[in-house]
Each structure stands twice: as C-alpha cells, then as structure tokens.
Amino acid sequence: MAIEHCDNFSIYGGDSYVNNLLNGVYAEAFIPNDTLDLANDPDGLSSGQVLRLAGGSNAAYLRYVMASSQTTFGQACRIWLSQIPNNSSAVVGVFNVRDGSNNVIVRAQFNTVGGIDVYNGAGTKLGGSSGPAVTANAWWHIESKVIINGASGSVEIRVEGATVVSLTGINLGTAPIAQCALFNVNNGGGPSYTKDLVWWNGSGSHNTDFLGSVIVAMLSPSADVALNWTPTGGSTGAGILDNIPPQDGVQYLTALNPPPAAYVCTLTDLVADVTSVKCIMTMVRAQKTDGGDASLQIGVISDPSGTPATVLGANRPITVAQTYWRDVFEVDPKTSAPWLPSAVNAAQLKMNRTT
C-alpha cells in the first residue's frame, strides 16, 4: 500500500469537529484562537466543507502520524490562498514533514510573490521556484514528493502538473519521515484552505509516485442490502451511517454478542467524468459500550451481482472511545488491478463484527 490517507474534510462537521478530527484520524489539531476550522468552500460554487487554516502569531496546524516510517513521502491536494503572503514572516504552508520525535525535516511554504520556497528543519532555505507559482482566490492542485537519502535527498513540487521546484543532492539527513502536517502561521499571510488531500509513500506496488490531478470523493451508504444489525434512531442502516456529522448516541447500528451476520449496503456512484480510481478508503466510526472484547472488520465487495470478490481491511479492536478506523484498498479483488469507475459504482460496503 502506498496511499496512507485521504480526506476531503466533509465528514466531521458540526460543533464537535475538533473532537472528530482527533478521534483516530489526526494526532493533533493545534488551534490557537479558533484559527483552524472547517469552513464552506471559498470558491462559492462547490458544496461541502474544507479545512481552513488562519494561523496568527502561533501556528495553526493539523498533524498526522504515518502508519510506518518512510524514506519517500508524497502529498497531493488543492490549496486556496485568500491572499499572497505580504511579508516574509508569514508561513503559509505547502507541506511539512517530520521525524518520529516531531522534529521538522523539511517544509515548503508560499512566498510574497506566490512562489514556493523549501526550508530544512533548521530554517535554512534550500531553494524554491523561480517566480510565482500560484495566485490568490483560486484552487491550485499541488503535488509534492520528498526523498530522504542523506546528502542525496530531493524535493520536487508540481503545480497543476508542471514542475516548479526541483531540488536534488540536498542533505535532509537520514531520519525517516514518520509524521506530516498542514500548517499556517499567518502574520500577514491570510487564511489558506485545503481539500482533496492525499498522503502517500514509496512502499508497495501502486501509487508510489506523483498521482496527477486527483479528487477525494465521498461515496455515502445509499441502501441496505443486508440489515443484520439493529438500528437505533432510524429505520435504515444506510440512513444512519450517512449522517454528517455523526450522531453519537442518537443514531447508530448495534451488533450485540454473539456477533450477527455482516451488515452490507450499496454506495452512491462516482460523478460521471471520473476516468480512473487510485483507491477506495473506507472510514467507520465505532465504539463498544462495555468492558468485553469487540472487533470490527470493514470490507468492500466487488461485482456483488455477479461472482463476488471481497477485500477486507484490518481486524480492528473496538474500545469504549468513539474512534474512526480507515482502510485503504488500492486494488479490485476481482481483477487484482486498480479499480475501474464502473466497478466502484457496483461495489458494496461490508461491515462485520468479528468478536
């Protein structure tokens, strides 16, 4: 697996979005004076929420711990600047990667002409774009790739597919990348917005290099196929699972012990102009209500109306704390090849209590 995590920030919502972000998804959300929040898309055309980082004299950032340490790290996302930074102390971030002790290894940020500069953890500028790379008040698809290899390290950044930064033979040390963050220290930089975020690494056989232009689309539960769990607060499982933000303790599905058969549902379709799929990432929010054992496994069923093939995620130990669990499926189990849009549209979600 190479894709670590993807997010369009549309599922957390409501007044409890900070708690939701921290319930198993992100390691830290540093929010001085409410300078990190989920806001409406600033383009005025798109629906849904995006991540807003306003910063201030202190950094606003959202930190993520990778599943394992890596020497190759990649990020793809769309970034919107409310203004080009108006002074050199405004740190409006492109990417920020860190070691296991949360020390910055390398970071990139926008400068006062809309270019992108790269710095090491000590704050030394390593290089940057030759001129402006972005403008304000527009979404820009920006991809970054960092390779840690001692004195042979490298950083490449692409904006709308064109390389704007290419640094090779730079010494980023040998400590592997274990964490990454989205960040903004305003002081004249203005808020930045992020959506369609994908983090990937160099392991596995798929998605180990620049992804190209990507979107992160939410496919919601649409209809029950097998309602084997007990619904509370609603008549259909799909309607309960589709709640944004989650209705903890109000609407939920229950699987008592001994575990019932798996819950299965259909999903909404991709938009018609999608031509390829990098992965399916499932995300489930779960808790148990007593001290006994409980484990949950999420799967995706390919070709359910033909000869079904199921891919299963990790068997997750559920605790008394509400927690998001996610699994990434880069390959269609029916073909052992990347998912086709038609196969995604036909797929079904499976949710099984295993203990």
Q: What is the DSSP letter of 33?
A: G
Question: In this structure, what token pair is assigned to residue 222?
Answer: 């649409």
What is the pLDDT, as a whole number, of residue 34? 79
Region of poorest pLDDT, from 14-18, 96-100, 201-205, 260-264: 14-18
Local confidence band at 89 (pLDDT 50, 70, 90 cut-offs): confident
Torsion of CA 148, 152, 153, 158, to 10 degrees: -130
Q: State both tokens at 223.
A: 């209809």
> Amino acid letter at 344?
V
- 278-312 pLDDT tens trace: 999 999 999 999 888 999 999 999 999 999 999 99
Shared domain for 195 and 115, answered yes or no, is yes
Inside any domain, residue 208: no
Q: Are residues 134 and 266 in the same domain?
A: no
In whole angstroms, what is the distance from residue 109 CA to residue 115 CA? 8
DSSP labels, 158-218:
EETTEEEEEEEEE---SPPEEEEEEEEE-SSS--EEEEEEEEEES-SSSS-S---S-----
The answer to whether residue 198 scores a pLDDT higher than 80 is yes
Per the domain annotation, does 212 fall within a domain? no
Same domain, 26 and 113: yes
Is there a single domain that holds both residue 189 and residue 227? no
Whether residue 115 lies inside any domain: the answer is yes
Pick the more confident residue, 88 or 120.
120
Cα–Cα distance, 94 to 184 (Å, whole number): 9
Rounded to two decimals, what is the model's pTM? 0.95
Helix, strand or coil for residue 24? coil
For residue 194, which of 318, 90, 94 has the smallest C-alpha distance? 94
DSSP string, 280-310: EEEEEEE--SSSS--EEEEEEEESTTSS-EE
- Asked whether residue 143 falls in the same domain as residue 22, the answer is yes
C-alpha atoms less than 13 angstroms from C-alpha of 173 in its C-beta half-sphere: 14
Query: Do both 246 and 140 map to the same domain?
Result: no
278, part of any domain:
yes
Q: Does residue 210 lie in a domain region?
A: no
Contact 221, 267 (CB under 8 A): yes
Residue 214 pLDDT more than 80? Answer: yes
Does residue 125 carry a pLDDT above 90? Answer: yes
Residue 213 lies in a domain: no
Stretch among 5-9, 167-171, 243-247, 264-268 having the lowest mean pLDDT: 243-247
Do residues 230 and 195 make contact, with C-beta atoms less than 8 angstroms apart? Answer: no
Instruction: Work out the pLDDT band at 122, boundaries 50, 70, 90.
Output: very high
CATH of the domain at 265: 2.60.120
Per DSSP, helices labelled H in the chain are 17-22, 237-241, 341-346
Q: Is residue 244 located within the same domain as residue 142?
A: no
pLDDT at position 244 is: 87
The reply to whether 124 and 226 lie within a common domain is no
Same domain membership, residue 114 and residue 47:
yes
CATH of the domain at 32: 2.60.120.560
Asked whether residue 116 carries a pLDDT value surpassing 90, the answer given is yes
Q: Which structural domain, as residue segments, surrounds residue 16?
A: 3-201
Same domain for 191 and 240?
no
Q: How far is CA 59 from CA 33, 128, 136, in A?
A: 11, 22, 21
Q: Are residues 64 and 176 in the same domain?
A: yes
Mean pLDDT of the chain, nearest integer:
95
